[in-house]
Amino acid sequence: MEKTFLMIKPDGVQRSLIGEVTARFERKGFKLAGAKLMTIDRSLAEEHYGEHKGKPFFEELVDFITSGPVFAMVWEGENVISTARKIVGSTNPQEAAPGTIRGDYGLIVGKNVIHGSDSKESAEREIGLFFNSEEIQDYTKDG
């Protein structure tokens, strides 16, 4: 079953949005396969956001994502990567449609509540950065 990586950023955790955000993915029918509340160190942040290295906002992005706890998650289900991106909404909350997480809860691009993998390759890479295999549950087992 397809899996994606989603992470509620420090602004979302600080604003007590974990329940609101996870409810949207559960309601849609996706399964939470892994989750942890953690504080990211700079080296993990720089690796996770490696594709943005050199961009003007990179330092600000790393400063912000390491500034407080994040809620890192693995979600699974049919087409979860692209569907979760739709539920998350556009990167800039001012352009994100109402009804999306960023459209409903975000105001500025640097503090856009949640990160979601943008492709199968990113999902595999990001899940591997944040979780080991024992931390990911298997819903195909009985019980």
Chain positions contacting ligand CMP, by CB under 6 A? 52, 57, 60-61, 91, 109-110, 112, 115
| Nearest C-alpha neighbor of 115 from the set 72, 67, 79 | 72
Q: How far apart are CA 10 and CA 55, in angstroms?
A: 21
**Shortest Cβ distance from residue 57 to ligand CMP (Å)?**
3
CB-wise, 67 or 140, nearer to ligand CMP? 67
CB-wise, 26 or 95, nearer to ligand CMP? 95
**Shortest Cβ distance from residue 68 to ligand CMP (Å)?**
15
**Shortest Cβ distance from residue 103 to ligand CMP (Å)?**
14
Q: How far apart are CA 114 and CA 21, in angstroms?
A: 9
Two tokens at 50?
Answer: 């490696």
- 19-36 residues labelled b (16+ CB within 10 A) or e (exposed): eebbebbeeeebeebbbe
CB-wise, 57 or 139, nearer to ligand CMP? 57
Residue 111: DSSP 8-state: B
**Which residue among the candidates 115, 116, 117, 131 is catalytic per the annotation?**
115
Residue 48 is among the residues annotated as catalytic for this protein: no
Q: Judge whether 9 is annotated as a binding position.
A: yes
Q: How far apart are CA 86 and CA 66, in angstroms?
A: 26
- Residue ranges for the known binding site are 9, 57, 85, 91, 102, 112
Catalytic positions are 115
- Residue ranges for the known binding site for ATP are 9, 57, 85, 91, 102, 112
